[in-house]
Amino acid sequence: MSVAKRYGGKYSTNDSADTSLPQGSRARRIEVDPVGGRANVLFVPAIVLIATSFSGGPVSLLLALLGALSLTMAAWLLRNGLRAQAAYDARKVARRPALPRKIFAAAFSGIGTALAVTAHLDGFDIVAPVIYGIVATGLHIAAFGLDPMRHKGMDGVDTFQQDRVARVVDEAEKHLGTMRETIVRANDRQSAARLEDFIDTARELIRTVEEDPRDLTAARKFLGVYLKGARDATAKFADIYARTRDTQARTDYLALLDDLEKNFAARNRKSLLDDRSDLTIEIDVLRERLSREGVRLE
Of 70-84, 147-161, 231-245, the least confident? 147-161
Residues 137/102, Cβ–Cβ less than 8 Å? no
Range of the domain at 42: 36-144
Whether 276 has a pLDDT exceeding 60, the answer reads no
Over residues 74-101, the mean pLDDT reads 85
Q: Give the domain CATH number at 217.
A: 1.20.120
Residue 17 lies in a domain: no
Residues 281/265, Cβ–Cβ less than 8 Å? no
Domain total in the chain:
2
Residue 46 lies in a domain: yes
Q: How far apart are CA 42 and CA 48, in angstroms?
A: 11
Q: In this structure, are 228 and 268 located in the same domain? A: yes
pLDDT-derived band of residue 214, with 50, 70 and 90 as boundaries?
A: low
Question: Of 183, 180, 186, whose CA–CA distance to 203 is shortest?
Answer: 180
pLDDT at residue 56, as a whole number: 79
pLDDT-derived band of residue 130, with 50, 70 and 90 as boundaries?
A: very high
Residue 8 lies in a domain: no
Name the β-bridge partners of 237. Answer: none
Q: In this structure, are 45 and 92 located in the same domain? A: yes
Q: How do residues 75-85 score in pLDDT, each as one tens digit?
A: 999 999 998 88
pLDDT-derived band of residue 215, with 50, 70 and 90 as boundaries?
A: low
**Is pTM beyond 0.85 here?**
no
Residue 21 lies in a domain: no
**Alpha-carbon torsion, ordered 253, 233, 87, 163, to 10 deg:** 130
- How many beta carbons lie within 10 A of that of residue 143, not counting itself? 13
Whether 33 has a pLDDT exceeding 70, the answer reads no
Of residues 123 and 271, more confidence is placed in: 123
pLDDT-derived band of residue 159, with 50, 70 and 90 as boundaries?
A: low
pLDDT at residue 11, as a whole number: 43
Whether 274 has a pLDDT exceeding 70, the answer reads no
Q: In this structure, are 166 and 281 located in the same domain? A: yes
